[in-house]
Amino acid sequence: MAFAIGVYVYASYGGPWGDSLEERIGEIVAAWTRRLAQTEEKDEAVAKFEETLAVRFDDPMQRVWASHDLGRLLVELGRYEEAIGIAESATHLKGENGEAFSIWHRALEELRREEEAFTCARRDKTSRPSKRSRVASEFIPKGT
């Protein structure tokens, strides 16, 4: 009897709920990957974030946030060139709030590419260039 009730409830309500999970697969995988990134499995988390960004998201902001998470993780791992690529791509996503520029700026500074870091910080109206970038800016031709 309990089994029959369970089948009835799933058939009546579980179908639409289960179908909606497919639309939210990006959000689900991103949440799982964020938890993985908090463990010692950082390289596996990077691979999962890259997979996550390839799937569909119901909410476009989730893609933006997953890109930020991947960029921050790459910076943490010292994989600055990869972080620059992810951050640069994220700056073109709808809803980007400047966090990608911050990640991009930090990766450039870690690589001691101060002129580029200053230009990046200047493009982002929410962050301030570091002292190192400001000094490098003195050598950037005016009007660039």
**pLDDT tens-digit map of 18-44:** 444 455 677 777 777 788 788 888 888
The structure's pTM equals 0.67
Q: Tell me which residue range forms the domain holding 80.
A: 18-137
Q: Alpha helices of the chain — where are they, by DSSP H?
A: 2-9, 15-23, 25-37, 42-52, 60-76, 80-90, 99-110, 114-123, 131-137
If one counts the domains in the chain, the total is: 1
Answer yes or no: is 100 within a domain: yes
Answer yes or no: is 82 within a domain: yes
Answer yes or no: is 13 within a domain: no
Query: Residue 71 belongs to a domain with what CATH number?
Result: 1.25.40.10
d(CA 11, CA 4) in angstroms, rounded, equals: 10
Angle between the N-to-C axes of helices 25-37 and 60-76, in degrees from 0 to 180, rounded to the nearest 10: 20
**What is the per-residue pLDDT across 64-116, written as a single tens digit (0 to 9) for each?**
888 999 999 999 999 999 999 999 888 888 877 788 888 988 888 898 988 88
Answer yes or no: is 7 within a domain: no
Answer yes or no: is 79 within a domain: yes
